[in-house]
Chain A
Amino acid sequence: GAVVSQHPSRVICKSGTSVKIECRSLDFQATTMFWYRQFPKQSLMLMATSNEGSKATYEQGVEKDKFLINHASLTLSTLTVTSAHPEDSSFYICSARAASGKLNEQFFGPGTRLTVL
């Protein structure tokens, strides 16, 4: 149980294009989903917290107009990187917290490697 999937696992795009990453909780309902970014040999940095049906809360320094987050249902959240540039190349990881059970358990997706040329 507690499986989180991400799609795509890897994406390469040209500078200036937009990329959408999906995060799904496969066998549980997630009231809250989190989006992280991880640069090589660095830790996971929280970008935003997304609650179903409401606007995402962004961490300081993260541009909300560049990283659009939609949490339309209890099993799906999407992150859209708009007008991507090479400096946006990174490993993007989502996590989901179950609507029931232990409130502070987060289950992570496998990550999406974004490369912007």
Chain B
Amino acid sequence: EDQVTQSPEALRLQEGESSSLNCSYTVSGLRGLFWYRQDPGKGPEFLFTLYSAGEEKEKERLKATLTKKESFLHITAPKPEDSATYLCAVETGANSKLTFGKGITLSVRP
């Protein structure tokens, strides 16, 4: 059974304090790993897709990396508006089914 584990569950940072969010996975046949941002009461907003180990993608203060066992979402000099829940999901199988982790709730204090 595909499993996705995100850690820590919650993370509180001071504005400007860089950190990393972890997503470890156990799947058979990874087709892609996704990172989403979810604000309270809203649907997930797409951030990145990573397809193979060693791949990296960046967008503003966010950088996602992928190994064969885990992915990291690095946040450089975060701002309060980066506060949200960050979801990791893996895609496996022919029907593009996504299996989500429980998410990491990030709070950035001004």
Q: Which residues of A approach B to under 8 Å, CB–CB?
A: 4, 6, 32, 34, 41-46, 49, 57, 91, 93, 95, 97, 102-111, 113
Contact = CB atoms under 8 A, between A and B. Distances in A.
27 contacts: A4-B43, A6-B43, A32-B96, A41-B102, A43-B100, A43-B102, A45-B100, A46-B97, A46-B99, A49-B95, A57-B95, A93-B43, A97-B96, A103-B96, A104-B49, A104-B91, A104-B96, A105-B46, A105-B49, A106-B34, A106-B96, A108-B43, A108-B45, A110-B42, A110-B43, A111-B41, A111-B43
Interface of B: 31-32, 34, 36, 41-46, 49, 87, 89, 91, 95-103
Contacts of A105: 46, 49
A105 to B, nearest CB: 7
Nearest to B31: A104
Contacts of A91: 41
Give the interface SS of chain A, mostly helix, strand, loop or mixed. Answer: strand
3 tightest A-B CB contacts, nearest first: A108-B43, A43-B100, A43-B102
Given A32-B96, A44-B87, A104-B49, A109 B43 contact: yes
Contacts of A41: 102
Nearest to B97: A46
A109 B88 CA distance: 17
B43 A106 contact: no
Contacts of B87: 43-44
Contacts of A45: 100
Which of B31, B91, B95, B96 has the most A CB atoms < 10 Å from its CB? B96
A91 to B, nearest CB: 8
A49 B103 CA distance: 22
